[in-house]
Amino acid sequence: MIAWVSSNATGCRYCQAHAIRAAERYGAEQEQLDNIWEYRTHPAFSEAERAALDFSLAASQVPNAVDDEIKQELYKYWNEGEIVEMLGVISLFGYLNRWNDSMATTIEEGAIESGEQYLGKHGWNKGKHV
């Protein structure tokens, strides 16, 4: 879900679909997948998850928007090692978002299915990734 928030922040539809598919494959709860767009308010997300996803959003923006408030909230729930792992995912997707969006990488059928299922209700489509 961290990868999806990062990809959503940058606008890469290819990575949005692959990230939500990965969340699905690696055991994210169905209710979270269905409501990822509302992670800040939906009861399926814990305060710890909200802190991690807010961190992902802020760290994915240019210029970087991580501030003391985001860091304080993050450190309430996560230790240094976990935060480093989160930032590793965010950083990797920073690269992947830019690469796939710039190259208009053709999106695969399975990712299209997941994108349409979980993100389509909010307007997700393949965009230039055809």
In this prediction, residues 88-113 reach a mean pLDDT of 97
Q: What is the mean pLDDT of residues 30-36?
A: 94
Considering the chain, what percentage of its residues have pLDDT values greater than 90? 100
Question: What is the pTM (predicted TM-score) of this model?
Answer: 0.93
The ranges assigned to domains in the chain are 2-122
The burial class, CB within 10 Å (0-12 / 13-18 / 19+), for 95 is exposed
Q: What is 2-122's CATH topology?
A: AhpD-like (1.20.1290)
- CB-neighbour burial class of residue 8 (10 A; exposed 0-12, middle 13-18, buried 19+): buried
